[in-house]
Structures are given as structure tokens and as C-alpha cells.
Structure 1
Amino acid sequence: MSTLKDYSDNIASSVHVVEKYLAEKNLPQPSYDVTSPKEFPADAPPEVQQARINIIEQARELYQLAQYPNESAVTFLEYGMMEAGCLRALHELGVFDAIPQEPGSFISLTELAKVTKLENLIDPLDRMVGRLRVSGILREPKPGHIAHTSISINYAAGQPFNSEIGWFTSIGLKSMALMSDQMQAFRDTVPIRSNSAFNLAFNTPLHFMEWMTHHPVREKQFCDVMDSFFRTPPFSMRHIVAAYPWSTLGPAHLVDVGGNAGLVSIELAKAAPQMRFTVQDQPSPVALGRSTLPPEFADRITFETHDFFTPNPQNAPDFFLLRHILHDWPDAEAGKIVKHMAAQMGPHTKLLIYDSVHQKLRGSTTRHQTPRRLHDVQPGVHHHRADRNDQVRVVYGEITRCVVERSERFRLKQSHCQPRASPRVVATSTAQSCSQRERLRIHGMYGLFRRRNLTPFIGHEGVHECDIDASSIVPEYRWSSVWQPCEDACISQILAPRSARIHAATQPRLIVYGTLVDRRSTPTLHWIA
């Protein structure tokens, strides 16, 4: 068992590693000043990244142990609730916008109350500001005066997280508060799009995506949140750009279903100068995309209003792309979305699905569990997103149904390995040489069979080929009895870091594309299918 001194020594050792790196690179130290660097260098060596994570983990545990259990229990119970409430109030009352943003500037509490028209509420304003000072979000440069920190300035108008704070402390906070009510009210009900905590909080039968089409301010806010969200390192566009050989595809046509304002297509257009793109979404994001599209892409990127629960108007494009879409919907709706695209797939059409795969996180540090668990819980508040293992099953089910009914076959073409990937990826053998047991392991590699079929492959790497008869995988279309998702941890261990593709020789095909970065450096595992 570690002592307080052990924690202190470990923190000091890790701090030394990080400080040495910053000094060697002539990089500034992090601080509460508004000019502080916003993010740790993403290109820092793995040992430096790990040292930073150690500081965060060890400091958190030391803080909790130094509090002792009773004080820690109260902290968890009260502080998070109060901070969330204060953040929402100060954002909606315009306090973050009223505090000057120039380095070294500040404002008196009296002037702040005047600017925000809260003269009669200066006492509760003082208490809320004081609560966020304790948390390090705001600071008091001198008595009775308030200044931004490098954290709080992100919440001001025009700053990176202005839309996030508005969304998560209003829509998110209200919905989260009713999670228990929702679970008790619908504990015996199959999850559908109209019985989430969001539906209770806002008294609507509409899925929150549909609800937003009737609330333009919230819809614009959500679009901004998604734009900002996908610029963060774990969800950066660079992952999807690097994951597939776009530049080799020539004048291919890709339909980005649910593509918002076209940010993904713009990035792909940069990487593939001959490709054409059609971005489909609701009227508001489509209008935004048209108005903000850079002129140099006007001849290659078009926008189209489309509801993906209806037949897709695009016939036989080279690619359909679903990026971070299916996790928003229960199994039934996810199947419908995929089915409409499967119906429009031509002889050479490929369906690409890019989304997150749930992990059990055994052995992961709490630092990396925190953002992952946030993205596990938060979507379920707004909508009933299915377990992402089940969605693998649903997606394969819809595509395989389409293929099997036409007496066609899937062929597992190749499984690539990326050097220095961690954990390393499975190797498969050619169909002619592998045994029946090995074939089951190959099936299991894609989460289609039980975990016991996966374990022997962990730790191997290679690029091989094999054939998989779709009809043998799904006999008599009994999806539930055959397509048993393996445990999440196994999916994280064996999805190919670069790619694993399932092709049909000349007919509709499904591409499985997993991007697995070292667990210690990113909180998310993506898959494209």
C-alpha cells in the first residue's frame, strides 16, 4: 500500500521528467494566466506523456487520501453539483463575457454586477464567483476584484468552449438530473427514441436530434459543440484522414450521411483532390455548411437536406460514410439507418462507419477512464444509444442480410498491422490453411463470437488473407444466437490499428476500419465499418 510519501516522491519524479522536456523544447510552463498554453504538446514522447498522466493520477489520489474518506465523500457529493450550478448561472447571466479578457486585466465585483444587471443580487453573485475561485476556475487578483484564469476564459463569448458550457449546463444538466426518474419509469421498457432522460426533462416525445430542429438556437449551439469536439485530439479529423488511402481513390464519390456542416468532407477533400462529396443532414446544418464552405471546394462538395430514416436519394455512390452517428440511436433505429443505405449500394459501393467502441478499461488508469466514462454516460442521457458492441452486430446484421439474401459472399481481404501498436494486433491465416478453430478465431476477431476465440491471437501481428462465407456466419438469419458480441476489452485488444477490411468480390461490401492508438495516449478507440 502506498504511503503519502510514496505519492509525493512519485509526483516529484514525474514532474522532473515533464519539466525537463519543457525546458529542452523551450516551452512555457502551464499556469493560471490567460496566456498559458491551452494543451500539452501532442507530439511529446510517450515517456513524457506517461509522466504527465502519472502527475494527474498521483495528485488526484494524494488529494483524496489527504482528505480522508468522510471529507472525500462530501466533496464528491456536494462540490460537483455546486460547481455545475454556478457554471451554468455565470454563463447564462453573462458573467464570463463581462470579465475582461486582456492579460492582467480584472473587474470589481460592483462593476461586474452593474454590467450584468445584477446590482440587486450582488451577494449571491459574490458567493457563486467565490465558489469558482475555490475551484481555480476564476481568480481574485485583489480583494473585491475578479479576473479570468486560463480555464475560465474558455467559457467567454468567442472562445473555444462557449457553446459547450451553454449546452452541457443546460440541456445536459437538466437531462442528467432525471436519469434516475427515467430508469425507474422505463425499467421494463425496451429503449426507444422517446423515453430518454432528455424526453422527461423537456417533456417531448421527440428524439433530441429532432427536437433541435424546432429550436434553432440550441441547434446552432450543438453544431458549434460538435465542431469544437471534433477538433480535440482524440476525435481530431487527422484520424479519419490518416486511416484510409483517400488520395488513391481518384474521382470517387462519397456521401457523408449526417455530415453536419461538412467539416469531415472538407478535410477529406484536402487529402483527396479528385474526390467528390455530398453532405447530407437537416436543413439548419446544411444551410450553415453552404454558407461557410470555402470557395475552393465549391465544385467538389455539395449539400443535400436528408432525413436518414427515409430512403437515401443517392444511388450507388462509391462510399457511404456514417461518422459518429450510430451511437446516437437504439438498435432498431441504427438498423433502419444502415438499411436505407444498404438498399442504395451498388456493385462497388462501400459503407464506412466511424464511431467509438466501448471498452471495459481493465488496467487503464483513472485519468483515461474519466473521459471515456463521460462519453459512455452522457449520450445515454440525451438518447438511448445502444451498447456499441451490439451496434457492431446490428450493422453486420443489416449488411449481411442484404448480401446473404442475394447469395453473395463477404471476403476478409486483409488485416493490416501498424508498427509499435499497443496492444499488438491479431494475425490471421489464409482460408486454405487455417483450421476450423482458427476460422472461429478469425470471426471472433471482429466481435462476432465469444471471447475465448480471441485470446490466442493477442500478441501476434501480420498481413494475411482468408475467406469468410457470410451464410456460415449467419445461418437462417438468427442474429441474436450467432452474432454474440465479445467483451469490450477484447475488441480494444484486437481491432486493427490501421485497417481490417471486409470486401464482397464484386457486390456490396462492408469495410471494417479500426483505429487503435496506444491506450496511454488517447481515451478513445474508433472503428470504421
Structure 2
Amino acid sequence: MTVMTRIAELALIISTNTEQVDAHLARRGLPSPSFDPDSPAGTLRDSQIVAARLAILEATDELHALMLGPVELLTRQQPYNSWISLQAIVKFGLASSFPPGQVEASFADIAAASSLPEATVRRLLRHAMAFRIFQEPSEGIVRHTTASKTLADTPLLRQWMGMVSEELWPAATKTVEALTKWPGSEEPNHAGFNIAHDTDATIFDEISKYSDRHRRYADAMTFYSKGAGLEAHHILKGYDWSSLGESTIVDVGGSHGTLSIAIAQAFPSLRCVVQDRPHVIGLGQENLPSDLHDRVSFMAHDFFEEQPLRGAEIYTLRWILHDWPDKYAVRILQRLVPALKPGAKVLVLEQVLPSVGELSRYQEKAYRSMDLAMLATHNAKERDMEDWRQLFKMADLGYEITSVTTPKDSRLSIIEATWQSQRAY
């Protein structure tokens, strides 16, 4: 009997699951994915084909790597200059330089709108075209693809791309230099970001000095937090909020209150207090829905200082601790202790790094890439489950991790630590 090779097996997986996706789209009367600028975004996000879509992506990712071979896998899979054209497209507004309502323009027209030389625009956009961002249907004419059109039509996406290319990409290029300069450091200002931007300030403090960078960072985080697997509804479904009755939730480092607003809207008996730096909560207060003014409030608070709101039932830390090295993450947890009553819960809403073999290589990339992004920008890290256990133990033995839940399709887990007793340091 002939044994199916791995590449043939992967091809079969791709074919079988593509048939499922095609059939689903046909039943729903939805168009097949294409690069055409009029192709609707989000047609493949339907929950009924999530598994098939993931299987295709995993199999194509592995097949692509096998077809490259070892040398090209190392030299071509992660081209160091791939961000040049993207950075320029965002920086000079090239995706938005088309005449109003048009999906085509000449290189000359785009150059005139951007103040760049036409020859430079041509080089940049033809590089992007190789990655299926824009297309050239005829000599000298640029046409949107669905990717470039989405970039032109989505301001928050442009802010995200700008933040990545201006803040994160330079930091990534200096990360190994930072590891060489500060080996074993647990200081948040000993990161690639600090060398790249020539500053002794943490990324948060440095960006907050400049209104345009701060706004871009805030917008970028708003965009990213709405991405697949990061939406607030996963947290709402993944924890028994309804059992809390008339309780108070303190949203520590809650930024503009996205999580608290979602909780308050879903559970009318709950009250939420959002804590963050003064200039951050100001934006949250401005955008708070009027019907929540009596149940969602904002308070200026530095989570490195002692928690002022004592006796609440729940304290949440959503995507806070991964921004800080262990030394500082421990300090944040310790500053909560004086406010905790027996039985109080601290909910850490964070990624839990997968154990070896738990996920496909394709899925694992997102976790490992985020881990290195934290290293590059904050000298911090994502943590696996043992890391989380050790972190709470280092903070105080009064903490006991009582449950860990990862809601379906969520990238964030809910780590529940219950305060068992008041302890002196």
C-alpha cells in the first residue's frame, strides 16, 4: 500500500477544507475571497467555518515552509525589508491618495498627492504589489486590492500600521543590542525601544510626551483589541459575572474603560470603576455612554501605588502584567493586597503561552511573536502557566489561583486568583 507523503496529506487537507468553505459561502450567497477592491471583508469570519479556515491556514503555512526548503526558509520567509513599503504607504498616505470614490490612479497622480518623486512611489508600490497590496492592471496605473482599499478606508488600521512601523519595528531591530547591553535586566527601560528611540524613559512615558504619538498608540490599541480572539465578549461569556449580584469591579489599568463598559452593559447589577493615568481616563470619560454614568466611573490611579479602593469583590488586570518584567508585575500585585478582603478575586486577563505541541506552529506564531514584541518594547514578556503561578507566589502567598479558563476562540485566558488571607510583608 502506498503511504501518503506529508506534502500530499497537506494538499488534501487544503482541498477538503477549501471545498467546505466554498460550499458554505455558496449557501449563504457570499462571494468567494478575492483581491478585488470591492471584495467584502470578513466573509471568512463566520463561526461555522472557523475550523476549516484555520485548517487551511495551518496546512498552507506548513506546505509553504516545506516547499521553500531550509535555506529559503531562513532567508525568504521573513524578509528584513518587508516593512519599508508599508511604512511609506502609511507615512505618506499613499493608499488614500486616489481621487474620491476611485479605485485606480496613476503613479504620477499618487506622487503629486504625496509630494514624493514619481520614481520613488513606483518603487515603493511595486514592492507592496509583490505582497498583494495594490496591483498594476496596466502600465503606470495603480489599482487597489482589497488590502490597500481596507487600509484606505480604515483610520484605526492606519494608526495601527503607523504605530508598528514607527515604534515597534525600530525597537525590534535593536532588541539583540539591548540584550547585549543589559544582560538579565528587569528594568522596563532596558529594551530595544530605548536604544532605537534614544531615550531612558519607558515606552509609555516616552510616547506620552508627544500628543500625536500618544493618540496613535491609543488608536492602535483600540484597533488591536477588537481583533479576532481579543474581543470583550469572550470575557463576558468566559466568567460567571451574573453570580456577583450587586458588586463592584475595579478595572485596574482599564484605559478608556472598554472592558468595564461591556460588563456594565451586559450585567446591570454591576458597578465598575476604571483606574488609569489622568490623561488616559479623560478620554474614557468623554466617550462614556450617557446611560452608564451611574454605574461606570473613572479614577486616576497609578497601579504601582497602594490600591485606594478597598473591599471590592473583583479587581481586574486586563493586558497589564505582560507589559512589565517580573519585578514590576509582582509589585503591581502586591499593591492590591492592602485593599483585598478574604475571598476577593483578582482576575488577570492575559495570554497564557502554550506548552510545547499544544498548538500548531501556525497558531503558536502569534503567541511567540507577541512575546518578543514585549521584549523589544518593554523588556517584558508573555507568560506560560508556570510563570503565572510563580508570579503570584512571589507577590504574596495569600494569593491562590483558583481557576484558569480560556473561552472558546479567545486568545486571552481568565486567571482567577482568590485572596485567602491578609499577610504582612
Is the structural similarity TM-score above 0.5? Answer: yes
Number of aligned residue pairs: give it.
412
Shift of 1:101: 7.2
What SS does structure 2 have at the residue aligned with 1:364?
Answer: coil
Corresponding residue for 2:5? Answer: 2
What SS does structure 2 have at the residue aligned with 1:35?
Answer: coil
8 Å contact kept, 2:95–2:151 = yes
What percent of counterpart residues are identical? Answer: 25
Question: Does structure 1 residue 129 correspond to structure 2 residue 125?
Answer: yes
Shift of 1:7: 4.4
Corresponding residue for 1:443? Answer: none
Gaps of 5+ in 1: 404-409, 411-445, 447-500, 502-511
Q: Distance in 1 between matches of 2:397 and 2:6?
A: 55
Correspondence list, 1:430-509, <5 A:
501=402
Return 54-63 or 224-233, whichever deviates more. 54-63
Corresponding residue for 2:292? Answer: 297
Return 62-71 or 6-15, whichever deviates more. 62-71
Q: Deviations over 1:282-324 (max 9, x none)?
A: 1222111011111111111111111111122222222211111
Q: Distance in 2 between matches of 1:323 and 1:347?
A: 22
Shift of 1:158: 4.0
Correspondence list, 1:144-159, <5 A:
144-156=140-152, 158-159=154-155
Corresponding residue for 1:256? Answer: 251
Corresponding residue for 2:160? Answer: 164
Corresponding residue for 1:514? Answer: 405
Q: Deviations over 1:11-62 (max 9, x none)?
A: 22221121112212322211112333323554534xx433323322333344
What SS does structure 1 have at the residue aligned with 2:250?
Answer: strand
Q: Distance in 2 between matches of 1:100 and 1:276?
A: 48
Q: Distance in 2 between matches of 1:304 and 1:375?
A: 29
Gaps of 5+ in 2: 418-425
8 Å contact kept, 1:101–1:148 = no
Question: Does structure 1 residue 30 correspond to structure 2 residue 58?
Answer: no
Question: Does structure 1 residue 236 correspond to structure 2 residue 214?
Answer: no
> CA RMSD, aligned part only?
2.4
Q: 1:3 to 1:298 in 2, by over 3 A?
A: closer
Q: Distance in 1 between matches of 2:410 and 2:283?
A: 31
Correspondence list, 1:375-454, <5 A:
375-386=370-381, 388=383, 389-401=386-398
Q: Distance in 1 between matches of 2:410 and 2:242?
A: 26
Corresponding residue for 2:420? Answer: none
What SS does structure 2 have at the residue aligned with 1:156?
Answer: helix
Corresponding residue for 2:56? Answer: 55
Who wins on radius of gyration, i.e. which is larger? 1
The residue type paired with residue 29 of structure 2 is: N
Shift of 1:385: 1.9
8 Å contact kept, 1:247–1:271 = no
TM-score normalised by L of structure 1: 0.72
Q: 1:9 to 1:101 in 2, by over 3 A?
A: farther
Aligned partner (choices 177, 181, 184) of residue 180 of structure 2: 184
Q: Distance in 2 between matches of 1:523 and 1:300?
A: 28
What SS does structure 1 have at the residue aligned with 2:146?
Answer: coil
Q: Distance in 1 between matches of 2:140 and 2:179?
A: 45
Q: Distance in 2 between matches of 1:348 and 1:63?
A: 51
Q: 1:297 to 1:523 in 2, by over 3 A?
A: closer
The residue type paired with residue 112 of structure 1 is: I
Q: Distance in 2 between matches of 1:321 and 1:101?
A: 45
Shift of 1:264: 0.5
